[in-house]
C-alpha cells in the first residue's frame, strides 16, 4: 500500500504531521499546491485486480495484465498504473467513491472508469500468503453462457395449415434463434406449437392453387421430418418470412459473393464415424446442421465454437466457424491446420472431427460436442481445486492422448485446462483434447520457433523466442497438474520464472501444499524444468510413482468399461496389479470390455522397462 506525503500549507512548514509519513513532494504535488489553504488528503493506494477493462485516470491508457493490473485508492476508487503514473497523482482524495457520471477532481480533467468488481473480490498482498495468480479463465478463451431469452428475429400473424390437417389456423408466429413458435396471441406466453429450427429440413416458396384469392397465389412451405406447414399470405409477407427463416437456419453464414447454384460448399470428412452421404445433399452445411448462435461454447485462435444439431439424427455437435476474411491469403493454409491434423488422429482421448465445410468466406469444422472443460471443473469444485485422486485420473488420460500425438510427431502447443474437454459431469469423466489451432508437426529431434500457445501455460523457451520441441507440451502438463491441485498458477508476473522455480518455499507454500503428497510435487518439479533436456517426457511421467497407483488403475479400468475400449491400461499390467490387490486385500477392478482385445490393437504401445523403479513399479505400460 502506498501513501503520498504532504506538507500542510501553513507558516510552520518544518513541522511534520504526526499522522502521515514524511518524504519528498512529487512533481505534481508542487504544481497543485494552491493558495486556498485547503488540507491536502493523500490517496491510500493498494494493488487491485480488475474484472473489466479499466483505464489509468492519469495517462488515460489501459491497465494491462492478467491480474493486479494497477493501483486503486481505497477511499475514492481512483485507478492508476503502478509506477510512473502513481508518483504523479496529487493529494486530492475526496474520501469517497464518485457517484454515477461524476468526474474525478478537475486537475485530471477526465472521467474515471470505475472497477465493477465488488470489494470482496479484491486480492490484497500479504507476506504470509502466496503471491501466485489465482486460477481463472484466460481472456483469449473466455467461456460464454447461453441466455434464457433468445433474440426475436421476426414476428407477426400468419395463416397456415398442414399436410395432416387441412383446416386453416391463424396464430402469432415468432421466429428466434432457436425455434419458430406459434402463439395464441401477441401478448400471451401460451403457444400452440413450437418448431425447433434444427427440425426444419427445407423452406420453399411455391406457387400452387391452394386458394382462390389473387393476392394469395403463393404459399410458403416449411418441411420437417413429420409435418409439412403451408403458410398462405400475400407474396411480400411470404418472401419476408422465407428470407428471415433461411437466415435463421444459417445464422453465421451470409456469403455475398457465392452462388449456391454454381459454387456450392466444399466438404471433407474423416469418414470415421459418419456414413458417406449423397454429394447433392452435402453441398450446404445448413441442409445437414443447425447452428445456434446464442450457444457459444468457446473461442479458439481463429474462430468461435457454437453449439449445433445434426438435422437428421438430432445429435448435438460443436461447430467451429472460421472467418477467412479476417486473415491474409497467406495464412489460409494455417487456418486449415487444425482440420488437417484432426483428420489424421483417431484416438478416444482426442476430440472427433466429424466433417468440414468451406465457402469463399468461411470454414465450418463440425466436431463432437462434450459437456464442459477441465477448467470449469476446477473452478466449480468446493475448494477451488481438485483432489489428488481426480487429478491423477485426468492427468493420466491427458498423458495417454499426448503419447499418441507425439508418436505421430504432433505437438499440441496450447495445452491448458480450457482445451481439455470432459464427456460428462461426473467426478471421473472421460477426457478429450481439443483446439489444435496451434499444433505443429515436430520430429523427435526437431525444433520450431513460430509463436504459439497461451502465455500462462507456455514454457520459458517459447517466451524467450528460442527453439522448442515436443517437450513444450510436458511443461504445460506440469502447469496443469499444479493448477489442478492448488487452484493457482505456479508463477507470478513480478519475478523471473527460473528464480521462482529454485525457491521451493515460493513454489509450494504451506497452504495448500502441506496437504499434497511429496510424489505429486516431485512430478511437477520434473515437468517444470527450464532446461528441456531435464524435463520429463510422456513415458517418464506415466511411469512416475504418483501415477502408478492401484486406485488410479482401477478408476481407469472403470472408465474403459464404460467407454467399451481399452486404451488407457494394458493387459501386461494385469498380473502385477492383481498380485498387489491380493497382497493388500483390496477390491478387484472392473471387468475388461468384451471387445478390448480388438480395440487394444489400435492403441497398443510397446512396453519399456522403467528406470529408477523397484517393486511393483518395476515394469509399466508406457
pLDDT at 398: 97
SS3 196: strand
Q: What is the Cα–Cα distance from 556 to 394, expressed in whole angstroms?
A: 9
Which has the closest alpha carbon to 96: 117, 74, 80, 113? 74
Torsion of CA 529, 533, 534, 540, to 10 degrees: 110
Tell whether the model's pLDDT for residue 216 goes beyond 70. no
Report the mean per-residue pLDDT for the chain.
75
320 is in an annotated binding site: yes
Tell whether the model's pLDDT for residue 622 goes beyond 60. no
pLDDT at 145: 34
- Residues 470 and 476: beta-carbon distance below 8 Å: no
- Look at 605 and 511; give whichever has higher pLDDT: 511
- Residues 269 and 355: beta-carbon distance below 8 Å: yes
Local confidence band at 595 (pLDDT 50, 70, 90 cut-offs): low
Tell whether the model's pLDDT for residue 351 goes beyond 70. yes
Tell whether the model's pLDDT for residue 298 goes beyond 70. yes
pLDDT at 27: 40
Q: What is the Cα–Cα distance from 559 to 567, expressed in whole angstroms?
A: 10
373 in catalytic set: no
End-to-end CA distance of the chain: 52
Give the tens place of pLDDT for each residue, 409-444. Answer: 898 988 999 999 999 989 999 999 988 877 887 765
- Residues 592 and 564: beta-carbon distance below 8 Å: no
Q: What is the Cα–Cα distance from 171 to 183, expressed in whole angstroms?
A: 6
Residue with cell 456450392: 264
Q: What is the Cα–Cα distance from 361 to 263, expressed in whole angstroms?
A: 12
How large is the average pLDDT for residues 183-188? 87
How large is the average pLDDT for residues 5-31? 42
Lowest mean pLDDT among 58-72, 471-485, 589-603: 589-603
pTM, entire model: 0.60
- Identify each DSSP E strand in 4-53 by its residue range: 44-48
pLDDT at 328: 61
Give the tens place of pLDDT for each residue, 556-577. Answer: 999 999 999 999 999 999 999 9
How large is the average pLDDT for residues 98-104? 43
User: How many Cα neighbours within 13 Å face the side chain of 411?
Assistant: 25
pLDDT at 32: 44
If 0-12 CB within 10 Å is exposed, 13-18 middle and 19+ buried, where does residue 502 land? exposed
SS3 193: strand
Local confidence band at 79 (pLDDT 50, 70, 90 cut-offs): very high
What is the Cα 97 distance to its own chain's centre?
Answer: 35
What is the Cα 524 distance to its own chain's centre?
Answer: 23
Query: Of 17-26, 245-254, 448-457, 610-619, which one has max mean pLDDT?
Result: 245-254
Local confidence band at 586 (pLDDT 50, 70, 90 cut-offs): very high
Local confidence band at 321 (pLDDT 50, 70, 90 cut-offs): confident
Tell whether the model's pLDDT for residue 406 goes beyond 90. yes
If 0-12 CB within 10 Å is exposed, 13-18 middle and 19+ buried, where does residue 322 land? buried
- Look at 41 and 603; give whichever has higher pLDDT: 41
Q: Which one from 253, 414, 473, 555 is the annotated catalytic residue?
A: 414
How large is the average pLDDT for residues 123-137? 55
Q: Are strands 303-310 and 289-299 parallel, antiparallel or unpaired?
A: antiparallel
Amino acid at each position: 500500500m502506498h501513501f503520498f506525503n504532504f506538507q500542510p500549507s501553513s507558516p510552520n512548514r518544518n513541522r511534520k504531521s504526526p499522522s502521515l509519513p514524511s518524504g519528498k513532494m512529487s512533481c505534481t504535488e508542487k504544481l497543485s499546491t494552491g493558495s486556498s489553504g485547503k488540507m491536502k488528503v493523500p490517496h491510500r493506494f493498494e494493488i487491485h485486480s480488475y474484472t473489466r477493462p479499466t483505464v489509468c485516470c492519469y495517462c488515460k491508457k489501459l491497465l494491462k495484465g492478467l491480474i493486479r493490473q494497477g493501483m486503486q485508492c481505497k477511499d475514492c476508487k481512483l485507478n492508476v498504473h503502478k509506477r510512473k503514473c502513481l508518483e504523479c497523482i496529487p493529494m486530492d482524495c475526496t474520501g469517497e467513491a464518485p457517484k454515477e457520471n461524476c468526474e474525478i477532481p478537475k486537475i485530471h480533467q477526465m472521467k474515471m472508469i470505475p472497477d465493477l468488481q465488488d470489494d470482496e473480490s479484491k486480492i490484497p498482498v500479504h507476506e504470509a500468503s502466496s503471491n501466485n495468480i489465482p486460477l481463472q479463465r484466460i481472456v483469449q478463451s473466455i467461456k460464454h453462457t447461453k441466455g434464457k431469452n433468445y433474440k426475436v428475429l421476426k414476428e407477426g400473424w400468419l395463416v397456415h395449415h398442414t399436410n395432416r390437417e387441412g383446416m386453416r389456423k391463424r396464430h402469432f408466429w415468432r421466429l428466434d434463434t432457436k425455434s419458430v413458435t406459434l402463439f395464441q396471441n401477441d401478448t400471451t406466453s401460451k403457444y400452440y406449437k413450437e418448431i425447433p429450427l434444427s427440425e426444419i429440413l427445407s423452406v420453399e416458396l411455391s406457387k400452387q392453387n391452394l386458394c382462390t384469392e389473387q393476392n394469395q397465389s403463393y404459399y410458403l412451405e416449411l418441411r420437417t421430418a413429420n409435418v409439412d406447414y403451408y403458410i398462405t399470405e400475400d407474396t411480400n409477407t411470404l418472401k419476408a418470412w422465407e428470407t428471415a427463416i433461411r437466415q435463421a437456419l444459417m445464422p453465421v453464414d451470409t456469403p455475398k459473393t457465392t452462388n449456391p447454384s454454381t459454387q456450392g460448399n466444399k466438404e471433407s470428412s474423416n469418414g470415421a464415424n459418419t456414413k458417406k452421404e449423397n454429394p447433392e445433399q452435402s453441398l450446404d452445411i445448413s441442409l445437414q446442421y443447425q447452428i445456434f448462435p446464442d450457444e457459444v461454447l468457446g473461442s479458439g485462435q481463429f474462430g468461435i465454437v457454437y453449439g449445433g444439431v445434426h438435422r437428421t439424427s438430432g445429435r448435438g455437435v460443436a461447430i467451429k466457424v472460421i472467418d477467412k476474411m479476417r486473415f491474409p491469403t497467406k495464412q489460409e493454409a494455417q487456418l486449415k491446420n487444425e482440420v488437417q491434423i484432426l483428420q489424421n488422429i483417431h484416438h478416444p482421448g482426442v476430440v472427433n472431427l466429424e466433417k468440414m465445410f468451406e465457402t469463399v468466406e468461411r470454414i465450418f469444422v463440425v466436431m463432437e460436442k462434450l459437456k464442459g472443460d477441465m477448467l470449469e471443473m476446477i473452478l466449480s469444485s468446493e475448494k477451488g481445486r481438485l483432489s489428488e485422486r481426480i487429478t491423477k485420473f485426468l492427468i493420466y488420460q491427458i498423458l495417454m492422448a499426448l503419447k499418441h500425438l507425439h508418436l505421430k510427431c504432433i505437438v499440441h502447443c496450447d495445452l491448458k485446462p480450457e482445451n481439455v474437454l470432459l464427456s460428462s459431469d461426473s467426478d471421473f469423466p472421460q477426457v478429450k483434447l481439443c483446439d489444435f489451432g496451434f499444433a505443429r508437426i515436430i520430429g523427435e529431434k526437431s525444433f520450431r520457433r513460430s509463436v504459439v500457445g497461451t502465455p500462462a501455460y507456455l514454457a520459458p523457451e517459447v517466451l524467450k523466442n528460442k527453439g522448442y520441441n515436443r517437450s513444450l507440451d510436458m511443461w504445460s502438463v506440469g502447469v496443469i497438474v499444479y493448477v489442478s491441485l492448488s487452484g493457482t498458477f505456479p508463477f507470478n508476473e513480478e519475478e523471473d520464472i527460473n528464480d521462482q522455480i529454485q525457491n521451493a518455499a515460493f513454489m509450494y507454500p504451506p497452504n495448500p501444499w502441506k496437504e499434497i503428497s511429496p510424489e505429486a510435487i516431485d512430478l511437477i518439479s520434473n515437468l517444470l524444468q527450464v532446461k528441456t533436456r531435464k524435463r520429463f517426457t510422456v513415458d517418464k511421467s506415466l511411469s512416475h510413482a504418483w501415477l502408478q497407483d492401484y486406485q488410479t488403475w482401477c478408476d481407469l479400468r472403470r472408465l474403459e468399461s464404460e467407454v467399451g475400449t481399452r486404451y488407457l491400461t494394458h493387459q501386461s499390467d494385469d498380473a502385477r496389479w492383481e498380485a498387489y490387490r491380493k497382497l493388500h486385500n483390496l477390491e478387484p477392478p472392473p471387468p475388461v470390455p468384451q471387445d478390448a482385445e480388438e480395440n487394444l490393437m489400435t492403441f497398443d504401445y510397446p512396453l519399456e522397462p522403467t528406470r529408477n523403479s523397484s517393486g511393483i513399479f518395476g515394469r509399466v505400460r508406457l
